[in-house]
């Protein structure tokens, strides 16, 4: 099976973008707004790099001050890392007495019997987590079409695509990605939302959400350090506003602080993982 790679780049142009007729309107509208914002607010790449470096250092220092350091490795595994990260939040979201696996949650999404479950990971790394989620769903009798979003795909990710464990790799800027069909599940732990320019984060996040089928689920990790909005110091208000913003658009959303005691200790990693889990389900 050949490697399926779609390339995309974020370019400013008039009209904002050309979209094929088989795409649906709402996600591409959000992408158009992002592209428009990039044109209005040119990116200061030096400052952006400095901001990310500072935020990562602050996250590492904060974790060290708390007595443990938790990283998000390139070879992250489905059970050891992904389910440990999202499990507690998913259990609470679905009213369980304990953690819930990603596969269990995604398998509950309604779909036509013979239609594959469309699963996307934003920031797929080497693809171990995405392929693990695929295996979990397939064990539950759910066929999957998996899509990995990666700015610069890792050779291991491409290899896993070549042997069929991942169906499609979309390379380039995630902000410019428009799904060719509605999706049923999205995973993003340390994904593009952390690095998108502040003015465009809302539309970028809504692009993913409005791509969901009814009942579809979006799992996003985020940290206030990365998503800090100028002038907004109350993180609890930020989270409440985030949930309310989704609710008025026909989504159910919850934010769960991460219980880091349930995560494995990983030494020597450069990046600390986010502090919160955002779970969004499309209701309407």
206-220 pLDDT, tens per residue? Answer: 899 999 999 999 999
The reply to whether 3 falls in a domain is: no
Query: Cβ distance 138 to 145 under 8 Å?
Result: no
Report pLDDT for 119. 97
The candidate with the shortest Cα–Cα distance to 193, out of 206, 183, 180, 179, is 206
Pairwise pLDDT comparison (162 vs 111), residue with the higher score:
111
Q: Average pLDDT, stretch 178-206?
A: 84
Q: Which residue has the higher pLDDT, 192 or 109?
A: 109
Residues facing 186 on adjacent strands: 120, 218
Q: Report how far residue 102's alpha carbon sits from residue 28's, in angstroms, rounded to the nearest whole number.
A: 27
Q: What CATH number does residue 159 fall under?
A: 3.40.50.150
* In a domain? residue 256: yes
Provide the 3-class DSSP secondary structure of residue 206: helix
Angle formed by the axes of helices 25-40 and 201-210, to 10°? 170
For residue range 79-130, what is the model confidence (pLDDT) as tens digits?
888 998 899 999 999 999 999 999 999 999 998 888 999 999 998 888 988 9
Q: Is residue 2 part of a domain?
A: no
Continuous segment of H or E residues that includes residue 82: none
Residue 5 lies in a domain: no
Residue 4 lies in a domain: no
How far apart CA 57 and CA 53 sit, in angstroms, is 6
**Separation CA 255–CA 260 (nearest Å):** 15
Residue 27's nearest CA partner among 149, 203, 188 is: 203
Average pLDDT, the chain: 76
Residues 6+ apart with CB under 8 A from 140: 103, 104, 107
Q: Domain for residue 170, yes or no?
A: yes
The percent helix, strand, coil of the chain (3-state, each to 5) is 40, 20, 40
pLDDT at 11 over 60: no
DSSP 105-154: HHHTS---TTSPEEEEEES-TTSHHHHHHHHHHHHTT--EEEEEEESS--
% of the chain surpassing 70 pLDDT: 66
Total domain count, the chain: 1
Give the total residue count for the chain. Answer: 284
Using the predicted structure, report yes or no on whether residue 153 has a pLDDT greater than 70: yes
The partner residues of 221 in beta bridges, in order of sequence, read: 277
Range(s) of the domain holding residue 230: 10-282
Q: How large is the C-alpha radius of gyration of the chain?
A: 18
**Residue 1 domain flag:** no
């Amino acid at each position: 099976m050949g490697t399926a790679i779609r390339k995309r780049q974020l370019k400013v142009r008039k009209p904002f973008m050309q979209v094929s007729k088989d795409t649906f309107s709402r996600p591409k509208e959000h992408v158009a707004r992002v592209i428009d914002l990039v044109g209005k607010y040119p990116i200061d790449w030096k400052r952006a790099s400095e901001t990310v470096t500072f935020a990562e250092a602050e996250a590492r220092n904060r974790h060290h001050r708390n007595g443990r350091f938790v990283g998000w490795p390139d070879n992250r595994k489905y059970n050891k890392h992904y389910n440990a990260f999202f499990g507690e939040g998913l259990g609470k979201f679905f009213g369980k007495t304990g953690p819930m696996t990603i596969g269990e949650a995604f398998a509950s999404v309604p779909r036509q019997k013979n239609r594959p479950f469309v699963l996307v990971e934003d920031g797929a790394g080497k693809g171990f987590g995405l392929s693990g989620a695929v295996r979990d769903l397939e064990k539950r009798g759910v066929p999957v079409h998996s899509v990995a979003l990666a700015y610069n795909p890792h050779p291991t990710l491409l290899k896993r695509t070549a042997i069929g464990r991942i169906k499609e790799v979309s390379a380039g800027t995630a902000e410019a990605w428009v799904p060719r069909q509605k999706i049923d599940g999205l995973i993003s732990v340390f994904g593009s939302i952390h690095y998108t320019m502040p003015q465009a984060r809302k539309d970028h996040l809504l692009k993913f959400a409005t791509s969901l089928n009814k009942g579809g689920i979006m799992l996003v990790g985020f940290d206030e350090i990365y998503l800090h909005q100028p002038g907004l110091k109350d993180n609890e208000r930020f989270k409440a506003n985030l949930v309310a913003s989704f609710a008025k658009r026909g989504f159910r959303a919850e934010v769960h602080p991460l219980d880091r005691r349930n995560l494995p200790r990983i030494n020597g990693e450069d990046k600390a993982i986010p502090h919160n889990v955002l779970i969004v389900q499309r209701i309407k």
